[in-house]
A and B are shown apart, each in its own frame.
Chain A
Amino acid sequence: MPESTDKAGSDAAKWYDLFSRGARDWLRHDEKVRESVRKHLPQIVSGADVINEGARTVRVPVRMLEHYHFRLRRPEEQQGAGQGKAKPGDVFSDPSKQRGPGEKGSGGQDEGEVQLLLEFKIDDIVDWLWEEMQLPNLKARVGPSEETDWIREGWDRRGARSRLDRRRSFKEMVKRRGNPAATPTFIDEDLRYRQLARRRQPAVHAVVFFMLDVSGSMSDRDRKLAKTFFFWVVQGLRREYRSLETVFVAHTTEAWEFTEPEFFQVSGTGGTVSSTGFNKVREIIDARYNPGRCNIYLFYASDGDNSVSDSAEARESLSSITGDACFTGYVEVSSGLSRQLATETGRLFAELSSAGCAAGSYALNDFDDVWGAVRHFFSAEAKALEAPG
């Protein structure tokens, strides 16, 4: 192409100030990292105290991706050529290794040294996951199911004066004129107005009880599993309810209410009497929440070893809760051995669910399985709600 010769030269002067290819490819790299991080979110999230503390983002440290080439295996000893004041037989330590990270150029062996901190919006994560896993949207049992609200979304060239976006309009002007230093003069094409869009908002209120067995048999890992699971349950329920309260109850042979940070620190000793926990929940419902106005959820995590003498009482107090609750879920966290719900508590929930109550259970043994559990409960919940209605 004969005309291409001078074209590249004159084009170059125009575009390279406005457009960075390096930044474009860097953004693409970021996108790829995000894709791969998404797959491991349940484990990542379980590490931090993120359930209720106002944090709407999760920060994840990641390594840069490597574009792989054929390389030789790294030998135990590498030979090379150097320069400087050294005689045969001299022994010293590599000076470049003392100068800190990032020293080597691209393609070096040390590429893993730079870490990025990616920030994810929890709302985005949840939206994405619900879509990906095709989880049903829940329906509230009481109250209007949704109301609409106006939110800001996007820009247009026409609109009410009051919604003129000055910053945006200024940018458009600069883009058009390509010279930010000159005196700003706007034309109509530069002006941008904020637009409003309708967004569906969940309308009603709900409270979710998280009940955790902290008896001696629950290991740290069990508790972390439970926490991860609880976290995602909260996120899922938040999609449906404008205001969602959380109540944390821990029990051994007694039961206590805790704040969230305390809740996951607690460790008790001794046996398991789950009826104490159920009674505590019952007590809190009676004192603070009216089942006619509020949607109640209960999620219980335990290793399932309830004391045999407690079974009658546990059944009774749990049934009284399921009568009022939208859903009760039991997740059996037994990382050591998988007993597939063949435990005292497991049987109790199975009984309830076969009696037609809105209850479900799931055996959670592994972090990879947290999503299975969340999916299981949300599908089960949707079914339980459809059946009577």
Chain B
Amino acid sequence: MTEDWKDYTQRIEELAGRSGLKFHPVEFEAVPDSFMMEIAVYGLPVRMPHWSFGVRYIYQLIQRHMGNSRLFEVVFPGNPGHAYLAASNGLAENILVTAHVLGHADFSRNNLMFRRCQGQVSEHIVEHAANHARQIQQAIEQYGMQRVEAVLDAALALEQHIDVDQSLRRERYPEYAPDAKALVDDDFRKRFASLDPAAASTGIEIKKRAPVPPHPERDLLWFVANYAPEMESWERDIFLAVREESFYFYPVFATQIMNEGWASYWHARLLREADFVPQQAYLDAIKCHSDVVRPVAADQQVALHINPYHLGFSMWEKIVEKQGMEAARNIMEQDDDFGFIRNHLTRELADELGLFRFSARNDGHVKVLEHDLTALHEAVLNPKYNFGAPSVIATHVRNDGTLELTHDNSIDGRGLDLERSRRVLDYVQRVWRRPIVLSTVNQAGSTLELTAP
């Protein structure tokens, strides 16, 4: 079986090249299902150990036993890219998946957000992550499981709290505040300086230490790693390792609809054009395609979530049809999901796809809301704001080292889940080693402070 699809791989690659896809070479590897599952759990083929991955692993196992999820492929961008295919895939599935992977490879090479993040993280994230895992294993041997785990508890709890607008390797804040008001060189000052040169110059040179942070800081992983009063260097390294992986995950997260849609568009198109694929395999592959991009489960009328494959696929079809391939490639290069949905999900297409907004009560009672395109865009994008995390920012470090965090509820619209936030503070407090104060709002909308310890 494996030999068969490898024969086709090259021909599909050639066809993709002729169709205008530009991608780095991809190394394909067929791996057992168990390994596919682990990649899905960890997000990377080799990643640091942490018990929370064990929890996700069990959920994956349960899902697989219930027959709900099946993974065909996972692809890691880079030069070369790595694609893992499930060894249990049939020929038709592998042909489809190969085409799909090439779509991803084209996307990750050309999309600006991917390029920017890869420029920072390097094109070898798979190897970097494996190195992090090795580093952390060494730390466990040296400092013991308990201590390393405490650091990972904190770092992974903050993994979404990065600032991708800043560079991966950021400098510390300048130590001194810039002179607030430069002294005006007026007549009086000239006269004063001529009378007593010594006094005049010392007066100007008094520098003021800049407050830390000088402005509200979103990148909590970076901030804690750099400004925790008593953090050890190996703990800092763990924080920065987690942060680097987050920088890698961000574009994957922020372009999911575009990226999956683009890959689905291309696997469908390449398959149509691949006259060398046997008839039966083609039919099987088309069947597989329609399962993947199915918006609503077969036995259901409606779905209360959006299938990114289907939404992205339909949008790209429409864009290519209306504006041509060149325009589509420009959009693919320049947008992320926010721009993509807001600019290109039209009223017409939303109706065609049967997209709707709903409001669900906790008891499972669901009501479909009235048409409103802008609101629909935001409902689709809502889970994606700010890397899917609440806006918690570091605002101040007091003289005694107490860290002040602020939750910006004006952005998120409501307060934090207090119990969970308290637990996160407990994690972080163990590496910050000074008190931490977090302010948010309660149900009634009035300010409230959580503290640890």
* A residues in contact (CB < 8 Å) with B: 1, 4-5, 7-9, 12-13, 16-17, 20-30, 32, 64-97, 102-103, 105-107, 111, 114
Contact = CB atoms under 8 A, between A and B. Distances in A.
Interface centre among B46, B51, B62 (most CB of A within 10 A): B51
B306 A77 contact: no
B382 interface: yes
Contacts of A29: 51-52, 54-55, 58
A102 to B, nearest CB: 5
Contact of B301 (A4, A79, A85): A85
A309 B54 CA distance: 64
Interface string B34-66: 110110011001110111111111111011001
B390 interface: yes
A145 B413 CA distance: 71
Given A28-B54, A68-B427, A82-B303, A105 B59 contact: yes
Contact of B38 (A1, A20, A69): A20
Given A22-B38, A77-B359, A5 B301 contact: no
The 4 closest A-B pairs by CB, nearest first: A84-B302, A25-B54, A22-B57, A67-B52
Contacts of A27: 54
A68 B423 CA distance: 6
Which applies to chain B's interface (DSSP): helix, strand, loop or mixed?
mixed
B38 A92 contact: no
B380 to A, nearest CB: 5
Contacts of A91: 365-368
A65 B420 CA distance: 12
A76 B360 CA distance: 8
B130 A8 contact: yes
Interface string B398-442: 000000000100001111111011011001000000000000000
Given A26-B57, A92-B366, A106-B59, A70 B416 contact: yes
Contacts of A9: 27, 29, 82
B357 A80 contact: yes
Contact of A88 (B27, B47, B310, B356): B356
14 contacts: A4-B130, A13-B29, A25-B50, A70-B416, A71-B421, A73-B414, A81-B306, A81-B382, A84-B302, A86-B301, A88-B370, A89-B367, A89-B368, A102-B62
A12 B32 CA distance: 12
B54 A22 contact: yes
Nearest to B123: A5
Interface in B126-158: 126-127, 130-131, 145, 153, 156-157
Contact of B31 (A16, A67, A106): A16
B392 interface: yes
Interface in B359-407: 359-362, 364-371, 376, 379-380, 382, 389-390, 392, 407
